[in-house]
Amino acid sequence: MARVTVEDCIQKVPNRFELVLLAGHRARSIAQGSPLTVDRDNDKNPVVALREIADGTVDKDDLSEDLIHSMQKYVEVDEPEPETVPQIALPANPTKFSDSDDDDVVFDRMSEEDLLRGLEGLPPAESPGSSRSGL
């Protein structure tokens, strides 16, 4: 029965590699308790997944999207575009600075999320007591 099911699936998903990925993902989701869309008929999860794909009871695009989301390690978050940051106003005479100019300085603020996102890209720091001479 599985051979006929695979031949039926190739009509729905022409790429055999993609078919294996989709059927494997669907079989794992069935094993985790996802509701079946066809009768089990004493078949194992991979055969049921192939039958669902062949019958078209599961949407190939939805299954593919779900597979992509399950493999993602980092989820992109759609954030609004950053607003235009006003430039710091320079004094009339840039060569001469005084203590009164400190009031005009504008500091950039960084959210905690931006700070953590920036720190993730840095290599791990050594602890103060550790030394590399033992390597």
User: What percent of the chain shows pLDDT beyond 90?
Assistant: 37
CATH number of the domain that residue 60 is part of? 3.90.940.10
Asked if residue 28 is part of any domain, the answer here is yes
Asked if residue 100 is part of any domain, the answer here is no
Please state whether the predicted TM-score (pTM) of the whole model is above 0.75. no
Asked if residue 41 is part of any domain, the answer here is yes
Q: Report the mean per-residue pLDDT for the chain.
A: 80
Asked if residue 48 is part of any domain, the answer here is yes
In terms of DSSP H, where are the helices of the chain?
Answer: 2-12, 16-31, 45-55, 60-71, 112-120
Asked if residue 90 is part of any domain, the answer here is no
Across residues 6-21, what is the average pLDDT? 91
Asked if residue 9 is part of any domain, the answer here is yes
Asked if residue 78 is part of any domain, the answer here is no
Asked if residue 32 is part of any domain, the answer here is yes
Report the C-alpha dihedral over residues 12, 16, 19, 20, rounded to 10 degrees: 160
Structural domain for 10, as ranges: 2-71
Rounded to an integer, what distance in angstroms lies between the CA atom of residue 26 and that of residue 47? 10
Domain count, the chain: 1
- For residue range 83-131, list pLDDT tens digits in order: 766 666 666 665 555 555 556 667 777 788 888 888 887 777 666 665 5
In terms of DSSP H, where are the helices of 83-131?
Answer: 112-120
